[in-house]
């Protein structure tokens, strides 16, 4: 019954934490509590008592952010491969955000949003006795009998051991422990969060009949969240209350998007592209991996689709595929290429609508994109760092050759030795940077905040 729950700017809009307490500084760049708590949740940080563990976590935060800041100062965000990665991930997350925030929001019952918003700050200690659906054994009647027994003072654990069909009852005696919104199926969740402390009731879910009791109440881990982050969790948990099949609803929504954009394919052009690909495949001896699909698309200047009063050629699709996380495949049939081109168009439509709705500035989008951006910039910095390491000198290679008494001739071994020494120097350069961060050589840390 229990189920699993579910940054573009470095200086963001103050949407996470109202506090502007600084935690670290590198040059003119200052990081605040809100920046660190995006990296490591505040409620988890408060639980870390070991100084060494705290230092390790904070050092990881500094290493990533300082590396990313160095990348920005070097202009690496404008490098072709880095820009492509950032753009592709930004656009894909925008498409996801459109469907998550715009499409799903039209399906979530307002009452579910209100319910989750009212109860997310609570944690309930819940006990239950599960009786699986069984008409012959009268599960419903047995559940009512157990409820009556509890109301007149019956021992919950004894009744759980005797009647519960929950596999874990032998270990927990019917105690589910502390539950928050988002931890159980909607039907069970709604029932228990509408119960008062000490109250008992019978709840029916897909798993059977549950005799439930709320033993106690305390604040949840969400109680101190800033409003926008709190609302984000409320939205996510409320989406579990959508009852209609999402796959069918999404297909209907996509059809409306395509119709509103005036999409109309020239099927004859699509058939011709498939024929061109088939000819190229034969020329390559049937090896699909050797066929440059994108090159063939780029060479075709014919209009293949009308889209928002524009006429697009296959080259437009090749460009979109190249600049995205979308991966083209070999199109062996008309159905395959039309489906793939339609997917590219739908993503473009959703991206534009997301921008028009301002979803690129939302808390939800930024909280997903910023870690991605940091990671891409961090990798770009280290790639630039190691690639900037000069080749070993001739003297270095000769010294290594003599010290290791290589049996080959120096001329034969030169390149392999040079490679070994270069890799060693590159690793040392990376370690030197990381160590300098740990030693706070060019980073100032708010020790008062850190030691709180």
Which residues are CB-neighbours of 333 under 8 A, at least 6 positions away?
274
**What distances in angstroms separate CA 295 from CA 35, 276, 330, 331, one per listed residue?**
43, 11, 12, 13
How many Cβ atoms from other residues are within 10 Å of residue 343's Cβ?
12
Strands 200-205 and 175-179: unpaired
Q: Is the dihedral of CA 247, 250, 256, 259 positive or negative?
A: negative
Residue partners of 369: CB distance under 8 A and separation at least 6: 7, 8, 89, 90, 93
The confidence score (pLDDT) of residue 406 equals: 64
Domains of the chain: 12-107+360-452 (1.10.4030), 118-219 (3.10.50.40), 248-356 (no CATH)
> Does pTM surpass 0.85?
no
Of 195-209, 276-290, 403-417, minimum mean pLDDT range? 403-417
Are the beta carbons of 421 and 400 closer than 8 angstroms? yes
Which of 34-48, 264-278, 394-408 bottoms out in mean pLDDT, i.e. has the lowest? Answer: 394-408
Full DSSP string of 163-198 = H---TTHHHHTTEEEEE-TTSB-HHHHHHHHTSPTT
For residues 76-99, give the mean pLDDT: 95
Structure confidence at residue 136 (pLDDT) = 59
As a whole number, the mean pLDDT across the chain is 91
Q: What is the pLDDT of residues 364-421, one digit of tens each?
A: 999 999 999 999 999 999 999 999 999 999 999 999 988 887 677 888 889 999 999 9
Tally: H helices and E strands in the chain: 19, 10
The tens digit of pLDDT for each residue in 297-323 reads 999 999 999 999 999 999 999 999 988
Q: Give the C-alpha distances (Å, rounded to integers) separating 54 from 64, 66, 389.
A: 16, 18, 33
- Taking alpha carbons only, the member of 285, 234, 255, 9 closest to residue 105 is 234
Res 14 pLDDT > 60: no
349 and 255 Cβ atoms separated by less than 8 Å: no
Could you please report the per-residue DSSP string of 322-379? HTSS-------SHHHHHHHHHHHHHHHHHHHHHHHTTGGGSHHHHHHHHHHHHHHHHH
Of 108, 57, 61, 79, nearest to 235 (Cα)? Answer: 108
* 8 A C-beta contact, residue 326 and residue 84: no
Least confident span in 103-112, 136-145, 284-293: 136-145
Nearest to 31 by CA among 379, 73, 39, 437: 39
């Amino acid at each position: 019954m229990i189920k699993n729950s579910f940054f573009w700017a470095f200086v963001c809009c103050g949407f996470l934490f109202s506090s502007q307490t600084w935690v670290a500084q590198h040059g003119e760049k200052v990081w605040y509590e809100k920046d660190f708590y995006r990296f490591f949740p505040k409620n988890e940080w408060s639980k870390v008592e070991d100084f060494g563990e705290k230092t390790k976590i904070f050092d990881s935060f500094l290493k990533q952010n300082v590396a990313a800041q160095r990348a920005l100062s070097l202009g690496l965000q404008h490098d072709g491969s880095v820009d492509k990665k950032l753009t592709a991930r930004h656009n894909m997350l925008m498409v996801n955000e459109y469907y998550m925030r715009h499409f799903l929001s039209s399906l979530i019952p307002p009452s579910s949003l209100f319910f989750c918003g009212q109860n997310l700050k609570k944690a309930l200690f819940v006990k239950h006795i599960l009786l699986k659906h069984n008409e012959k054994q009268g599960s419903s009647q047995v559940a009512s009998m157990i409820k009556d027994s509890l109301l007149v003072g019956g021992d919950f654990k004894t009744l759980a051991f005797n009647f519960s069909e929950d596999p874990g009852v032998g270990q927990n005696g019917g105690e589910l422990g502390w539950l928050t919104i988002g931890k159980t199926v909607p039907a069970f969740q709604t029932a228990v969060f509408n119960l008062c402390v000490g109250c008992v009731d019978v709840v029916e879910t897909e798993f059977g009949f549950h005799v439930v009791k709320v033993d106690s109440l305390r604040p949840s881990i969400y109680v101190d969240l800033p409003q926008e982050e709190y609302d984000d969790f409320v939205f996510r948990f409320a989406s579990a209350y959508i009852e209609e099949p999402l796959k069918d609803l999404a297909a209907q929504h996509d059809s409306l998007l395509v119709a509103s954009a005036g999409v109309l394919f020239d099927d004859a052009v699509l058939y011709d592209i498939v024929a061109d690909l088939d000819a190229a495949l034969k020329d390559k001896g049937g090896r699909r991996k050797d066929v440059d699909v994108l090159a063939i698309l780029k060479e075709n200047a014919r209009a293949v689709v009308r889209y928002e009063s524009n006429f697009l050629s296959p080259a437009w699709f090749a460009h979109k595929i190249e600049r995205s996380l979308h991966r083209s495949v070999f199109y062996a049939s008309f159905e395959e290429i039309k489906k793939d081109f339609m997917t590219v168009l739908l993503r473009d439509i959703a991206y534009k609508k997301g921008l028009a709705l301002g979803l690129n500035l939302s808390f939800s989008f930024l909280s997903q994109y910023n870690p991605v951006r940091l990671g891409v910039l961090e990798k770009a910095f280290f790639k630039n760092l190691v690639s900037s390491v000069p080749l070993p000198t001739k003297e270095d290679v000769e010294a290594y050759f003599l010290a290791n008494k290589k049996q080959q001739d120096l001329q034969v071994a030169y390149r392999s030795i040079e490679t070994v020494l270069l890799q060693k120097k590159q690793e040392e350069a990376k370690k030197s940077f990381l160590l300098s961060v740990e030693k706070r050589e060019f980073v100032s840390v708010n020790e008062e905040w850190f030691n709180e």
